[in-house]
Each structure stands twice: as C-alpha cells, then as structure tokens.
Amino acid sequence: MRVRALFLMLTAFALAGCGAATAQPPTIEGSVDRIVVEKAAHRMTLYKGDQRVRTYRISLGGGGLAPKARSGDRRTPEGDYRITGRNPNSRFHLSLRIGYPTPAQAAAARAQGIDPGGDIMIHGLPNGRGALAALYQGRDWTDGCIALTDPEIEEVWKLVRDGAQVRIAP
C-alpha cells in the first residue's frame, strides 16, 4: 500500500512538471571519441582514445536483445556507427543521434523490401519523468534507443564529441 501511494505521488509530481529540467543543456566539451555499447550486459562505456572515461548501466529497446531488423520492432541495432547530431529539444531529456541505418543496412533492407527504421538515439528519460528514474532503470523500455538517467545523459552530452564512433555489440 505504501509503495503504491509513493508511486502515485511521484507520478503526479512528474506529470505536473515538477522536477522537469528547466536549465539549458550543458556545454559540449567533446573529449570522448568512442562509445561501446554491450547490449547483453546493458552497459555503455565512453572512451577517449584507449582510456576508459565512464561506464553506465543502460536501458535498451523493449523488443528484446536480437539486432534491429525493421522499423517498429523496438530492437536496438548492432554495428558500427557515428554520432551524427544532437537534439536539446527532444521529447526525451537530451538526445544524441546514432547514424543508423548505415548505407549498407539501408540497401540490405531495401533488397528485402523492408523499412529498416531510424531515429536511433542515446537519450535520457521522457521529459518530466526524471523523478521516476527508479521505475525505468533495469527495464528495456525504448523503441530501440539507448537510455540513461537524466543526470547521466547530461554528462554524456558534455563528454561526447560530434562524430564520435559508436559500436553496438550483442
């Protein structure tokens, strides 16, 4: 009963806009040039050269750990990509765009007559839900993206340079 009351209170707090990030996105420092995502371990590690900078526990797509096959499958892709953009006004708390699909993945999908999907990001929680981070952690809930808590994505946003390599491994 107490847990339910706490959940309802936190939900009302988040939906009312309390706790939503109102500050401007952090300045981009851009020292990290490589990101490695290990899907099975639910781990994302940032590197500057060969030096490990930070490691995070992540949430992935709710469609299971198999590689992304098509639009709407809610799976996180696998392969080598780059950070191709950033969105400070995303419907999630900050987002870094991953260059999925690659030209080869798009061509392979076309050859099979399927849509490979797109809009794969590294992002925070849905806007206004930062206070509910504990409800998201440890669950795969995205549509194929890689999710962190809001404070973590703020740190990643600052550390990762545009064009950084991203390897998403099984």
- The predicted model gives 73-98 an average pLDDT of 97
Q: Which of 84, 81, 96, 89 is nearest to 145 (CA)?
A: 96
Q: What is the DSSP letter of 39?
A: T
Query: Is this structure's pTM higher than 0.85?
Result: no
The answer on pLDDT for 18 being more than 50 is no
Confidence of residue 170 (pLDDT cuts 50, 70, 90): very high
Chain-centroid distance, C-alpha 97: 9
Give the total number of structural domains in the chain. Answer: 1
Q: Which domain holds residue 155?
A: 2-169
The answer on pLDDT for 86 being more than 80 is yes
pLDDT tens string 98-148: 999 999 999 999 999 999 999 999 999 999 888 888 888 889 999 999 999
CB neighbours (10 Å) of residue 121? 24
In the chain, the N- to C-terminal Cα span, in Å, equals 39
The answer on pLDDT for 27 being more than 80 is no
DSSP letters spanning 128-157: T-GGGHHHHTTS--BSS-EE--HHHHHHHH
CATH number at residue 63: 2.40.440.10
